[in-house]
A = this chain, B = another copy of it.
Amino acid sequence: MEVTVYLAGQIHDDWRDQVEKLAKEKGLPLTFVAPQTNHERSDNIGEEVLGKQPGKLYKDDAASDINNFRTQLLMQKSDAVIALFGEQYKQWNTAMDASTAIAMNKPTIIVRPASLIHPLKELSNKANVTVETVEQALDVLAYVFE
């Protein structure tokens, strides 16, 4: 049984590579999909496809059109979602992706540091599992195949 996992969350370090490496080490039959992880490309994709926009609001909206197209397509093809929150930034996309996944009945794991327990409490409560490290998230995925 092949399982596809959408990796929502911040794109400022290599946590997705760690996830894939751990999955390979454990020999799990997982395929991972994710948002665009090149931050600049993600911010500019609207203008790169549609041309120069008349200001930041419009540039951002054009980029979001295409980022949301990508996320919607890949999340619908996924069987589960891991959403990782870091300590910096607003990360509203991560909250949006996790909430959307839960509303679509995708089994969802949240990864967040202990410092974020309080602000994430309602979202953690709606997700299936909340852990603090990528290793723990992989332990949960591995458990499905035991």
Contacts and interface: CB of A to CB of B under 8 A. Distances in A.
Q: Copy number of this protein in the oligomer? A: 8
A66 B140 contact: yes
B45 A143 contact: yes
Contacts of A89: 119
Given A96-B95, A117-B57, A122 B68 contact: yes
Contacts of A36: 143, 146
A64 B96 contact: no
Interface residues on A, range: 35 or more
Given A100-B99, A121-B60, A131 B50 contact: yes
25 contacts: A3-B73, A36-B146, A38-B146, A49-B131, A49-B143, A50-B136, A56-B117, A61-B124, A63-B121, A64-B121, A64-B124, A70-B143, A76-B79, A76-B107, A77-B79, A89-B119, A90-B119, A90-B120, A92-B120, A92-B122, A96-B98, A96-B123, A96-B126, A99-B99, A100-B103
